[in-house]
Chains A and B, each alone.
Chain A
């Protein structure tokens, strides 16, 4: 299982919200990226928190800087709307792109992008909010409901050629109260591509609870790292304790 550090970025700052709302600044992107790399994180996820809101792309210069000293996979998301955006992201040093709003507005983007760049470079990103017994997908950083069922949408995305799916629970993210395990379980069951679980990690017990029921390919964490609640080693030791294979921090 991979452990991924998620950095939501606005302009020059890493920010951290709750329920994808709020812009509290928590650090410098390049500093944090380097720090997590040196502490053994497996991958980095850099999300432009406001790209859709402001109809712009701002992260590429940050990726360029981060890449000079960080030699693990980097996924870039936020405001990826067309092939030229993907091109620019990969050229600046990203290995993968995460796409949410762009895919909802134009599902063919996933198909075209995976044919052009290979599905492994295309991560479909889903923001999920609980609605009764199921979940609805949101776009624009949790701002606009789409009316799409998360489970059906994840199946469609996999069929379109996405290489991975990252599913973020809007209800749990930023709260440090635990994962939405039902959500992750159902998405994982719905597809055969790797699923990255995101949103809610607060204690090592949450990891044990998650892994007891479902084996996502990776977990993405933000609050616990940015607020120094848990270390990367803590998380990896817990996973090893649960019998998961993890990369020894190097």
Chain B
């Protein structure tokens, strides 16, 4: 990462600059302008304001932007709940092959057998890893998979003539869980964790009844602890006629060790961009396949991919009358699916097991060293991640945010902070299996150094980071006076970084100029 300033691309723009050209037109006179209804063709002065740059400046701009980023190829990301494991390059290469990257999604089945095989095999592999009956690859991200899963659960109950209106989640759950349930019209019931950070069985029993559609859970939970009562939990949920939903964010802890299906989960979603090594891309694209048990198979999104053993052909099946419908335009984020497919076949069964074994080993190694210097609320063997707190540093006036910013200064991406909300000043750390022991030792040393600095020179933390392109942003201002696009093209000066008043004036001018 390089510490320099970069302008917005609009600031490089000048009328008439371009590197783009099309082949010469080989048609007679263009009649394009004559067809369209009145008012539907842009006039000469009405073209959209897009940058006008030559390729040199365009490439320089985006290359310089990229150098303002920290990335996984540069260093460690101990982000709890994100599973930032290495993104293998062969996965990139194969997904970009002609015949893989440039295939139209609506080809008749007979002309895309290779693509259908990838989808079908991925479903098979995920069924095996998860212990589920069938999988859909259609959902386009983890939260999208959750939505798909809850939609299927809703339809399941409706098909049995039952009107269930509630979904239960633990108070430690990821925000997408309650948001998803609300999108499907369910009322949320949140239950407190027990003293060990796991599901409080008595609390669960007290809320489960014939009004509850599902209990959404991840195991290991967001504290990185495996809930040993999982089978009892499943029984309580199923006894009341509800279904058990598995949030697959933490799957990296248990692959090849145990399977959510065997634990009693009815619906599971998986994040290919976490557990299965596909790149984060700065915030997507991801992929969130969903697995289901037998009783939910008929509600899966349509079409499903089928295989005929005698003809050895794959086909798309559309006549699934009980399907919830579609959640995406086509078959899912195929490019991401292809990368995850390459990953799974590269690793094989033994490699998949090795992931979870080493993810858990690495996490316990870090935890055992760091618990001597930070608070560890739940001092128990963890799975692939664990949660510390900086509460022991509070007496020096230091918060988790300060620790995180000092880590940025020392060349790391910070761990996940302030989540889960049940741990005060939380620091959630997940090393993954792709970090080597030397990296982990360096990280431990750095975290110990920071804890010491908190005591002897807390200002060092409070002033961090000093060596990054920008430092300690004014997020209040960003939310109070939202400036969400560049106005330079409108003839307004770009929003100034000086007085708040002048910035607001500019926005008002822009808003009225737009009308």
A joins B in a complex: no
Q: Which residues of B contact A (CB under 8 A)?
A: none
